[in-house]
Amino acid sequence: MQQEYDAFTKKYFRTDRFPHIWCPGCGLGTAIQAFVKAVEKSGSDLDRTVVVSGIGCTGRAAGYLNFDSFHVLHGRAIPFAVGLKLANPKLNIVVLSGDGDLFAIGGNHFIHAARRNNDLLVMCVNNFNYGMTGGQLAPTSPLESSTTTSPYGNIEPSFNLPWLAASSGATFVARWTILHVRQLINTTVEALGKRGFRFIEVLSPCPVNFGRRNNLPEGLDELKMYQKHCEVANFSDPRLADIKWSEKIILGKFVDQEKQAYEEKIALLSQKARGVKRG
Amino acid sequence: MSIQSPRSVSFLSGNMALVEGAVKAGCRFFAGYPITPSTEIAESFARRMPQIGGVFIQMEDEIGSIGAVLGAAWAGVKSMTATSGPGFSLMMEHIGLAVMLETPCVIVDVQRGGPSTGLPTLPAQSDVMQARWGSHGTYEIIAVSPNSPNEAYTLAIKAFNLSEQYRVPAMILMDECVGHMYEKVRIPTEDQITILNRKTPHDREHYLPYEPNDDLIPPMAIAGEGFHFHVTGLTHDERGYPVATREAQNKYVLRLSDKIRKNEEKIQEVEQFLTEDAEIVVVSFGITSRPAIRAVRLAREEGMKVGLIRLVTIWPFPEKIIRDIARKAKGFVVAEMNYGQIVYEVERCARGKPVILSPNLGGEAHTSEEILDKIRQAK
């Protein structure tokens, strides 16, 4: 069992980089573990699987994963991934990054890649704050939450990420938490097998920088909160997927549709442009 | 729309000629965002790329454009973007990333008047220092500056070659005049062109992405070929792993700079005109070099011994060449379309000889007479 585990770990992680930098109680280990288990289960070609991360705690994922992996600028993982995929459509690209990275500084790239239906799987580990810089307000921080830059309580409404993704044109939209590991793995396997712009939000505790300022001082406290408030309801209206601490949090798949990916259209465009010459 | 490969002699604008040169160099990926006066470059690529199996994508902004260019470069495709001042400003952080990851790519800045929105349709040469220093940190880049559509073609090839060879972003600093002027462009034949490609690794087992060869340049793996490499914008070691120490910073950042500095004489190109016996040497580049040539001729007619050095490559600055000229010359006139940028580079290489600036804040190119006046002053 241990041997099997070690072999699995060596296959998917750069073990020479351990120990990792993530804090005790952080959900990232679970989220990333779920991701690699999904890769294993999906039978993806590891040589062609590429991970791109931005900056932040989740952004460090690329550095620990034993794929071709890119740790790029804050907020810019998506455009980098767009270029990689267009230049070599045989690659399977996964963008792994955090909520601040993807939806504050990188928000514009997210909505446009979703609109174009670029063939990417974007996984956002949402811990409701900027963890790496010490717990500042993020565009996902719930109303009233206390962070180092909202010491009197957050007055900004937060993004509803499934709705944002769905309304921007994503072909696949789902949300799980790191408490729902099995579901997260299965959904990721499913998403890896599809084309187009796919988005999975993974709710994850950040006890050290967020939880302790918001009555969830231990990692486990936030998991208990998930257990209490989360409700699995596939194909719910994503408009109802807002996250408020004291109300129900909808999990599951929101969108799953077939749409021609941008890369397929580019290939057709090339045929069209060359065809004109023959005619 | 028919496929238009250029004829051996074509009548093209600088922007269009640049696109054809880039295509000849092997560029097969362009990402960009519309901005005057560079837009024709994006438009030409939009038409051209699908014809030759390349990719054109209009991104949501200039940050996304250069981000996609870097991604494409790491998938093994020669890639570029084109913009003007405001977009160039937005690209600065990614230029630093390109330097840090040692990513070959070409960035065109068709310069217009600034600061800010400035003069969108009119020329300037005021992004010269921004090209050199615009991103934070210590680094070197390469920049070339064509003064004609014909040279926009040849320097596009040169920029790609240098970028591939040294794994560094190469910039083409054009200006609105050269970008929009139409002139005869001689398309070279295959045997007149050299195309250089990045070094690639072969040993998957022992590959270290940042282990340089003796020339200080590491071979570059591309995504999807089984190397399972990692790269990061953090200061890193030979494995590509982040290391936050002074030693790692010193070692890595020194090499990034030295791979250019130690090869600068191989990179640099200047054109000299009547400098042999010149007492006053005019230094200029891009569109400004054209009125400057006439100014030199007019000065010669007045009996003054005047020559011209035209910077074809601006960065790395041809320090040694200017120092050598300064031994004999009595003074310099620097004509540039700004309020003094390259003049300071010339000054530090001028061995104490007087250096006079012929400034121009942009909007219209210098007249020869303006430059001639400065030559008379230098005399």
Residue A235: give its domain's CATH number. Answer: 3.40.50.970
Tokens linked to A266: 């580019």
> Do the chains contact at B50 and A85, CB–CB below 8 Å?
no
Domain parsing of chain B, residue ranges? 9-192, 270-378
Domain range B270-378, CATH class: alpha beta
Task: Assess contact for B364 and B128: CB atoms under 8 A.
Answer: no
Interface test with A, best of B58, B65, B70 (most A CBs within 10 A): B70
If you measure CA to CA, which chain B residue comes closest to A68?
B228
With beta carbons less than 8 A apart as the criterion, state whether A195 and A133 touch: no
Among A82, A97, A269, the strongest candidate for a mutation testing the B interface, having the largest count of B CBs within 10 A, is A82
CA angle A223, A224, A225 (to 5 degrees): 90
Interface test with A, best of B45, B228, B238 (most A CBs within 10 A): B228
- Put simply, the answer to whether A83 touches B230 (Cβ < 8 Å) is no
Alpha carbon distance A75, B93 (integer Å): 11
Question: How close does chain A come to B104, measured CA to CA in Å?
Answer: 14
Distance from CA of B20 to the nearest CA of A (A): 17
Distance to chain A for B68, nearest Cα, Å: 4
Q: Which residue has the tokens 């455009």?
A: A79
Which one of B51, B59, B223 has the shortest CB-CB distance to A91? B223
- Asked if A208 and A128 count as a contact pair (C-beta separation under 8 A), the reply is no
What are the DSSP calls for B121-189, one per residue?
Answer: EEE----HHHHHH-SSSS---EEE--SSHHHHHHHHHHHHHHHHHHTSEEEEEEEHHHHH-EEEEEPPP
β-pairing, B169-175 vs B105-113, is parallel
CB contact (8 A) between residue A79 and residue B55 = no
Cα separation of B379 and B371, whole Å?
Answer: 13
B280-284 and B313-315 beta bridge pairing: unpaired
Fold match between domain B9-192 and domain B270-378: yes
Structure tokens given for A268 = 């057709």
- Taking an 8 Å cut-off on Cβ atoms, the answer to whether A63 and B242 are in contact is yes
CA distance B145 to chain A (A): 27
Is pTM beyond 0.80 here? yes
The CATH class given to the B9-192 domain equals alpha beta
Residues linked to residue B123 through DSSP beta bridges, in sequence order: B112
Residue A201, both tokens: 């939000």
Listed in sequence order, the residues at least 6 apart from B90 whose beta carbon sits closer than 8 Å to its beta carbon are B61, B62, B63, B83
- In angstroms, the CA A199 to CA B340 distance is 50
Subunit contact A84:B75, Cβ cutoff 8 A: yes
Token pair of A115, please?
Answer: 């609109």
H helix or E strand, kind and range, residue A106: none
Verify whether the Cβ–Cβ distance A76 to B94 is below 8 Å: yes
Q: Nearest Cβ partner of A87 from B55, B65, B230?
A: B55
A36 in B contact zone (CB under 8 Å): no
Non-local (6+) Cβ contacts of B254 within 8 A are none
Mutation for testing the B interface, residue in A15, A80, A95, A265 having most B CBs under 10 Å: A80
Nearest to A69 among B94, B230, B242 (CB): B230
ipTM tops the 0.95 cut: yes
Residue B297, both tokens: 């001729």
Q: What is the domain extent for residue A254?
A: 2-278
Which among B48, B112, B115, B119 has a CA at the least distance from the CA of B80? B48
Q: How many domains does chain A have?
A: 1
Interfacial A residues in 39-78 facing B (CB < 8 Å): 46-48, 50, 52, 62-63, 66-73, 76, 78
CB A220 within 8 A of CB A239: no
A55, pLDDT greater than 50: yes
Contacts of A242 (CB under 8 A, 6+ apart): A158, A160, A163
Torsion of CA A189, A192, A197, A199, to 10 degrees: 30
Residue type for position B78: K
Encode burial over A127-136: b for 16+ CB neighbours within 10 A, e otherwise: bbbbbbeebb
H or E element that contains B280: strand B280-284
Confidence check: pLDDT of A1 > 90: no
Sole residue written with tokens 């062609």: A48
Q: Do B224 and A273 touch (CB under 8 A)?
A: no
Residue A276 pLDDT > 70, yes or no?
no
**Residue listed under structure tokens 């010490």:** A134
A107-116 vs A77-87: helix axis angle to the nearest 10?
A: 30
Within 8 A of B94 by CB-CB distance, chain A residues are 73, 76
Nearest CB to B29 within list A47, A69, A83: A83
pLDDT band at residue A245 under the 50/70/90 scheme: confident
Nearest to A80 among B61, B67, B228 (CB): B67
Q: Which chain A positions have a beta carbon within 8 Å of B234's beta carbon?
A: 71
Q: Taking all residues of chain A, what is their mean pLDDT, rounded to a whole number?
A: 96
What residue in A sits closest to B80 (Cα-Cα)?
A83
A11 CB within 8 Å of a chain B CB? no
Query: If pLDDT is split at 50, 70 and 90, which confidence band does A279 have?
Result: very low
Q: Sort out which chain A residues have CB atoms less than 8 A from B67's CB and list them.
A: 72-73, 76, 78-80, 82-83, 109
Q: Distance from first CA to last CA of chain B, Å, rounded?
A: 56
The DSSP call for residue A147 is: B
10-residue stretch averages of pLDDT, chain B, 379 residues long: 71 98 98 98 97 97 98 98 98 98 98 97 98 98 98 98 98 98 96 96 95 97 97 98 98 98 97 98 98 98 98 98 97 98 98 98 98 96
Distance CA B154, CA B161 (A): 11
pLDDT value for B4:
62
**Chain mean position to CA B245:** 32
**Statement: residue A277 has pLDDT above 70:** no
β-pairing verdict for B355-358 and B331-335: parallel
Is the CB of A273 inside 8 Å of chain B's CB atoms? yes
The 8 Å CB, 24+ separation contacts for A62-65 are A62/A96, A62/B230, A62/B232, A63/A14, A63/A17, A63/B230, A63/B232, A63/B241, A63/B242, A64/A13, A64/A14, A64/A17, A64/A18, A64/A20, A64/A32, A65/A12, A65/A13, A65/A14, A65/A32, A65/A36, A65/A96
